[in-house]
Amino acid sequence: MPSAETASHQPQTHAAPARMGLHAAFWTRLMLFMMRWLPAFVITALVYPVTAVTYLLAVPQREAVRANLNALMPGRGSSALAGFQVFLQFALTYLDRLWHLHFQREVNWEIIGKEDFEALQKTAGGALVFTVHSGNYDIGAGLFARKFGRPIHTVRMPEATASLQKLREEELREEERRHPHLHVHYNEPGGHLGMELCRKLLAGEVVCVQGDRVMGDVAPTHASIDGVTYLIPRGPLVLAEVTGVPCYPVFLSRRGRLAYRIEIGKPFHPGGRKPKAAEVSAAWVPVMHDFLSRHWDQWFVFEPLVTRDPA
């Protein structure tokens, strides 16, 4: 969830992509053009056939999603329909994101765990917020920053293409203007982001990290629960180990068009001491697993990250 500091964390330069590749900004800009001229119900209706075509063509992503779901829900998760539901929810969420960021449509939020949110808000020192790739991270970050009233630092991976990265930077600059407490940091290969985030935490600020997805040069670790093994990033666990700050789970889920739920739980590490990374992992993964089991159709990871242990 991300200010003027972003300029010091510019992402790496990307190789020039195909103009109409899957990750090119062309498709988003085309969608924005259509959204300016077509009624909302027409745009929403178009999402379904477009998602179906994408689901058929994006073979590696489709098979990764189905493998993850089959590990979470043996038998049922491997169905074509289950995989399509993830792609569809992602598309509808992305559409909401464009409505909100580019057309200033208001988002309706249901907040669960207000007492825990207030406890996090009143925390005297730094705190780590763990979340996953679900719901709508970008517009959720803006809401969180607006209501939180303290500087919040979020971590992003650079986009897959230079054109999409340029579009994201334009969007984030506008979000930072609207939400001055929001600061974005890019996790670039060869960077020293971990050290900088550690300094922020020790200075009493809040850092939001995604504790579910391993990409690029991110160091991985394995964690198991109920016969399921997740490949999760080690970096957030090390931040908790080094700083000893409290760790809160925060999850986002979509309820309908421009309607979302934010769930804020009690800290799975209360702070006050420096735990081992393995201890943080053992506390975090059950919380994450519970949410993903309930909202599997909104887990937007398109890499194979979950396996089921042999019976």
Measured between alpha carbons, how far is residue 88 from residues 18, 60, 140 in Å? 24, 17, 19
Domain-embedded: residue 134: yes
**For the segment 175-233, what is each residue's pLDDT rounded down to a tens digit?**
777 777 888 887 776 667 889 999 999 999 999 999 998 876 678 899 999 999 999 99
Domain-embedded: residue 48: no
Domain containing 252: what range? Answer: 4-11+107-308
Exposure on the CB side of residue 221, measured as CA atoms within 13 A: 16
**CA atoms of 292 and 127, how far apart (whole Å):** 23
SS3 82: helix
Domain-embedded: residue 123: yes
**CA atoms of 204 and 76, how far apart (whole Å):** 45
From the CA atom positions of the chain, what is the Rg in Å? 19
Domain-embedded: residue 209: yes
pLDDT for 152 equals: 87
Name the domain count of the chain. 1
What does the CA dihedral 254, 180, 214, 93 come to, rounded to 10 degrees?
20
Q: Is the Cβ–Cβ distance between 209 and 155 less than 8 Å?
A: yes
Please report, in tens digits, the pLDDT of each residue of the chain (311 residues total): 333 333 333 344 444 445 555 666 787 888 889 999 999 999 999 999 999 999 999 999 999 999 999 999 987 777 889 999 999 999 999 999 899 888 888 889 888 998 998 888 888 889 999 999 998 877 777 777 777 778 888 887 776 677 777 777 777 777 777 777 888 887 776 667 889 999 999 999 999 999 998 876 678 899 999 999 999 999 999 999 999 999 999 999 999 999 999 999 999 999 888 999 999 999 999 999 999 999 999 999 999 999 998 76
Domain-embedded: residue 133: yes
Domain-embedded: residue 42: no
SS (H, E, C) 255-284: EECCEEEEEECCCCECCCCCCCHHHHHHHH
Q: Look up residue 156 and give its two tokens.
A: 């992003």
Entry pTM? 0.86
Segments in the chain forming alpha helices (H): 26-37, 40-57, 59-72, 80-103, 114-122, 137-148, 162-178, 193-202, 235-243, 277-294
Domain-embedded: residue 96: no
Residues 6+ apart with CB under 8 A from 75: none
Domain-embedded: residue 81: no
**CA atoms of 114 and 80, how far apart (whole Å):** 37
CB-count exposure of residue 114 (10 Å: 0-12, 13-18, 19+): exposed
**CA atoms of 137 and 152, how far apart (whole Å):** 13
Residues 6+ apart with CB under 8 A from 193: 9, 155, 185, 186, 187
**CA atoms of 127 and 205, how far apart (whole Å):** 7
**For the segment 72-84, what is each residue's pLDDT rounded down to a tens digit?**
998 777 788 999 9
Residue the block writes with tokens 């930072």: 176
Q: How far is CA 199 from the centre of its chain?
A: 23
**Residues making up the chain, counted from first to last:** 311
